[in-house]
Structure 1
């Protein structure tokens, strides 16, 4: 069940990150989910590092750090994906 929540959270964070970033990110939905999951992991690590990983009530700081991580990963990963995708050799039709 935790993998299902990771996928749902990754989708939500990835989509919000893509909305926040200016311009168009030409990445598929599966990569949006992966980037969101990676951003969530980075945000959780940062929250643990500053001591706000578990608080009473809603962990707003942890959630904001997760979103910031997702924005950073999408901002760095989308251009890398485009460069990788652009350098693939395409077969002639």
Structure 2
């Protein structure tokens, strides 16, 4: 078992890429998103996987793939923020 390689390296890489892609996606969405960092990472990982799968058949360009991943993360952050915001009840003033 290697430390930093193999399965554990893949997990660490996925978390790191998910954090970066999710954070960039959050920066694109206007306003404050009330969501924990773990949810941002999950959205980022999902966006990275889906973006890679989509772009694999079109190009091998890192930058184009990253743009698609970040766009997908922004859509994911927006949708989750809307769902989370819609469930919150505001007390009358």
TM-score, with structure 1 as normaliser: 0.76
Q: Tell whether 2:79 aligns with 1:76.
A: yes
Number of residue pairs aligned between Structure 1 and Structure 2: 81
Query: What is the alpha-carbon distance in structure 1 between the residues aligned to residue 81 and residue 49 of structure 2?
Result: 18
Local SS of the residue matching 2:16 = helix
Matched, 1:5 2:13: yes
The unaligned stretches of length 5 or more in structure 1 are 88-93
Distance 1:5 1:83 in 2: 33
Q: Distance in 2 between matches of 1:12 and 1:23?
A: 19
Please, which runs of 5 or more residues in structure 2 have no aligned partner?
A: 1-8
CA contact (8 A) 1:43 1:62 kept: yes
Aligned-pair RMSD on alpha carbons? 1.7
State the SS of the aligned residue for 1:26: coil
Structure 1 residue runs of 4+, over 6 Å off?
none
User: How many Å separate the matches in 2 of 1:67 and 1:23?
Assistant: 17
